[in-house]
Chain A
Amino acid sequence: MPAAAQSTAGSSTRSGEDWEPKIVAFLCNWCSYAGADLAGVSRMQYGPNIRIIRVPCSGRINPLFIVKALQNGADGVLISGCHPGDCHYISGNLIARRKFALVKRFLFFLGVEPERVQFSWVSASEGGRFAGLVNKVISDVKRVGPSGKLAKRLMKV
């Protein structure tokens, strides 16, 4: 997993008012990543809390990635792909939609806050939507606080 997700789990920034969440964002190469790019090129402001991982398609995302990100200390996971019908690979996001629906429900069933794992569709022309989405996810995750439920606790030496 990316170093960003692993770094400061357990350090003093995990609590208190100056706590900033770390959010892993899996973005599809063709729509959402380009949407994030557009948000940047258009000088839109959004929180610096997300760490983007570019994937070829939202269909590439294995639910393991999601739980593994939470285990490695991410406070939230954002997953975004092309709108249904716009997939570069025709049906990748439609297959992914079924997986995500199950994963979201299952994690909620087990007692993981629904704010931690969020899914959305962002197209390449929706820079504004992307910036808004990121801000919403950040404020959601800030509301539920630091993640700890699936996080791996490393032994202190």
Chain B
Amino acid sequence: MTETVDRIKTLARELLTGGKVDVFIGYQDASVPLASRPLLIPAKKTAEGDADIIDRLTWNSFCSNNLAVFLPKYFENAPFRKSKDPVKKTNVGIVAKACDLRSIVALSKERHAPVENVITIGVPCMGKYDRRKIETAMKAAGFDFSDIDRYEEQNEEAADGQVAIHLKSGKSLVFSREKMLQDACAECRFPMPEGTTHLLEGKARNPGDGGYGRIEDFEKLPLEERWAYFSGEMEKCIRCNACRQACPTCYCKECFAEMTDLKWIGVSTDLSDAMIFHIIRIFHQSGRCIECDACYRACPMGVDLRMFTRKMVKDTETLFKYLPVFSREETPPMSTFREGDTEEFITEP
């Protein structure tokens, strides 16, 4: 891990001082334990002599944010730009796990992150921890996050790796690594980035089998039970829109949820408004969603969004044979069609 951090710092320094990028996006330690937060380093800052900022870059098993979410705004057309004005595109350097990279590819297909302007630094991924799982496990043992002094990973590249959490009291809690991983990581099918500008050495976890076990089990439930689960999850939603903000492929400048001329989503606390927001937001992610769980992580209420986003991924894969991976050639499924697309849903009188 420390070698990876050093290599990220060296590359960042090279890119920033060499004038290759205008901004570098990576991770830094958060102010709370067991977390990381994004770090955006403008080249202007390093040119002014503030080189220390690069040393804040980090890489550990809590770097779970999907950094691709910051890309689209760098490539938006400036308002009131005259068509003859030259377009100055920002060059961005970005640390990319395989999931971030898949989002970047999805964005570049839709011209929100041009390939020539984005320098990706691929980092093989061993999976990231789910803070909520650790929190629950610690609570079960009678502790909470405020007791944490530091953490230590043991044998992190092996299947039986563990994470030891040392408490301020001197006690230590040891959890199995696999059990504390995010669902998105445990089920990850593509842990190794492909087609990056720079690829760091390292070990990636074994790819998951790509099964949709939990979704298929849910599909077998009776209609009313499914509806009860969906309504139960939606009741938790406070409509803070954090899922949308965290999602890299939710890039619309004007979201349907904020339109006022046609007021699609009401301002009341009615459950149906939350439902419609989520149904349509998730529908908009078909062919874009890479199951990174950024929405789930961002959700302050712990809504089980993965169940629903994953269903959309499953249907897009089974119906249209499309999975957003590293290839930049395939057209996104919702902007194309095939003659033999499914007609199973058509009502015959």
Residues from chain B with a CB closer than 8 A to the CB of A136 are 347, 349
A100 to B345, Cβ gap below 8 A?
yes
State in angstroms the CA–CA spacing of A102 and B288 once bound together: 14
Please tell me if the beta carbons of A110 and B349 are within 8 angstroms of each other in the complex: no
The docked-state distance in angstroms from the alpha carbon of A97 to that of B273 is 26
A110-B276 contact in complex given A64-B264, A105-B315, A132-B349, C-beta closer than 8 Å: no
Quick check: B347 and A64 within 8 Å, CB to CB?
no
Binary interface encoding of chain B residues 150-184 relative to chain A, with 1 for a CB under 8 A from any of its CBs, else 0:
00000000000000000000000000000000000
B275 touches A150 (CB 8 A): yes
Q: For A95, list chain B residues within 8 Å (CB).
A: 334-337
Is residue A4 contacting chain B, with contact meaning CB distance below 8 A? no
Contact yes or no, A119 B337, CB < 8 A? no
A98 interface residue (CB < 8 Å to B):
yes
Say whether B280 contacts A64, CB under 8 Å.
Answer: yes
B337 touches A129 (CB 8 A): no
Q: Is the interface of B mostly helix, strand, loop or mixed?
A: helix
Q: A71 an interface residue at 8 Å Cβ cutoff?
A: yes
A106 & B280 in contact (Cβ 8 Å cutoff): no
Residues of A within 8 A of B334 (CB): 95, 98-99
Question: Smallest CB–CB gap between B110 and chain A, Å?
Answer: 16
Cβ–Cβ contact A101 & B226, under 8 A: no
> Is the beta-carbon distance between B346 and A149 smaller than 8 angstroms?
no
In the complex, what distance in Å separates the CA atom of A84 from the CA atom of B341? 10
Interface size on B, residues (CB 8 A): 46
Selected contact of A91 from candidates B224, B311, B337, CB within 8 Å:
B337
Residues of B within 8 A of A98 (CB): 319-320, 333-334, 337, 341
What string of 1s and 0s marks CB contacts (under 8 Å) between B275-316 and chain A?
110011011001000000000000000000000100110011
* Cβ of B63 to closest chain A Cβ, rounded Å: 32
Question: Are B279 and A67 closer than 8 Å at their CB atoms?
Answer: yes
- Shortest CB-to-CB span from A53 to chain B, Å, is 14
Tell yes or no: B223 within 8 A of A by CB. Answer: yes
CA of A82 to CA of B276, assembled, Å: 28
A125: B residues at CB distance < 8 A? none
Task: State the Cβ distance, A45 to closest chain B Cβ, in Å.
Answer: 14
Contact of B345 (CB < 8 Å), options: A63, A101, A133? A101
Complex Cα gap A64–B308 (Å)? 17
B residues sitting closer than 8 Å to A (CB atoms) are: 218-219, 223-230, 256, 264, 266, 268, 270, 272-273, 275-276, 279-280, 282-283, 286, 308, 311-312, 315-316, 319-320, 333-337, 339, 341-349
In the assembled complex, 29 residue pairs joining A and B whose CB atoms fall closer than 8 Å, in A order, are A64-B264, A64-B276, A67-B279, A68-B276, A71-B272, A71-B273, A84-B339, A91-B337, A95-B334, A97-B342, A97-B343, A98-B319, A98-B320, A98-B334, A98-B337, A98-B341, A99-B334, A101-B345, A104-B345, A106-B283, A106-B315, A111-B223, A111-B229, A120-B347, A135-B349, A136-B347, A151-B272, A152-B270, A152-B272
Given contacts A84-B339, A98-B334, 4 further A-B contacts (CB under 8 A): A64-B264, A68-B264, A110-B308, A133-B347
